[in-house]
A and B are shown apart, each in its own frame.
Chain A
Amino acid sequence: MTEQRVSYTLDSSLETVDNAEEKATRIATELGFGEDEVMQISMAVREGAVNAVLHGNAYAADKKVTLAFERVGEELVITIRDQGKGMDLSKIPNPLAPENLLKTSGRGIFLMRSFMDVVEIRPSSAGTELKLIKRVHGPSEGAKEASQ
């Protein structure tokens, strides 16, 4: 990421999920994150995009997903916004609870929280804004070059 901030407006489609993951992988790699961290960031972005496309915009053709990557000091800040009805945070179950272990869904936000340093979810009537932050730990030479 040669610029400090890049932003994309994407359709509410399955292709967007793969696209968002690919962008996250490329940008995190450019910033010098290690292989495991790149995987964590790309998976968190994928899960965020899935939520935006499926649960937020519900595949609506007239609704868009906005994806932004920003380098702020020693942090990679990723923002994903949808135009849905807004997520009801009270309805998110704990996927580690024994009664939920065998459920086939409900692990996306848990995975994001496991992989990122900060996960903020701001629902509103105009949609949900998800902010994911990963701190750059000991950037490599490649990261220094990419950030210049």
Chain B
Amino acid sequence: MTMKVGSRQVDGVTIVDCSGRITLGEGSVILRDTVRDLLSKGNKKIVLNLADVNYIDSSGIGELVSAFTTTKNQGGELKLLKLTKKVNDLLQITKLYTVFDVKDDEAAAVKSFK
């Protein structure tokens, strides 16, 4: 299953609903293009909803890091929402759980932006 994304606005925050696999190739490119497009349009408060992402490889992890740093470098914030156990475990063992702001509840994620 390839990756699909859809975005929506909630109180000035862009929620990007991702589903499928974030892996080398199409999945990583879709995520990269989506975040860059949002930033270019001035949407700098971004939440990646990963509830339906069932698989991510090292390239996908790299793409999450890239999205995080690109957003931060442009004065924005990118947070992660609703990690599956597999993705959560990967972020734990790579120590990236300490880097990302990870939320379990969408309303709380939206509120957490300053």
Contact between A46 and B57, CB atoms less than 8 A apart: yes
Cβ B69 vs Cβ A102 within 8 A: yes
Question: Which chain B residues border A43 with CB–CB below 8 Å?
Answer: 57
**Selected interface stretch from B8-16, B33-41, B75-83, B88-96:** B88-96
| CB-CB under 8 A for A96 and B25, given A102-B69, A104-B63, A107-B58 | no
CA distance A14 to B66 in the complex (A): 21
Question: Which residues 25-73 of B sit at the A interface, judged by CB distance below 8 A?
Answer: 25, 57-59, 61-63, 65-66, 68-69
A-B contact count (CB 8 A): 45
Check if B94 sits within 8 Å of A50, measured CB to CB: no
Looking across the interface, which residue of chain B has its beta carbon closest to that of A111?
Answer: B58
Instruction: Tell me which residues across on chain A come within 8 A of B59, comparing CB atoms.
Output: 50, 105
Q: Which of A46, A96, A107 contacts B61 (CB 8 A)?
A: A107
Candidates A54, A101, A104, A107; contact of B66 at CB < 8 Å = A104
B positions within 8 Å CB-CB of A: 23-25, 57-59, 61-63, 65-66, 68-69, 86, 90, 93-96, 99
Complex alpha-carbon distance, A104 and B58, angstroms:
9
The one of A46, A103, A114 that contacts B93, using a Cβ cutoff of 8 Å: A114
Secondary structure at chain B's binding surface: helix, strand, loop or mixed? helix
CB-based nearest B residue for A49: B24
**How many A residues, CB 8 Å from partner?**
20
Q: Of A46, A101, A105, which one neighbours B95 at CB under 8 angstroms? A: A101
7 A–B contacts, CB within 8 A, in A order:
A17-B24, A50-B24, A50-B59, A102-B65, A103-B62, A107-B62, A111-B58
Q: Given the complex, which residues of B lie within 8 Å of A50, measured CB to CB?
A: 24, 57-59
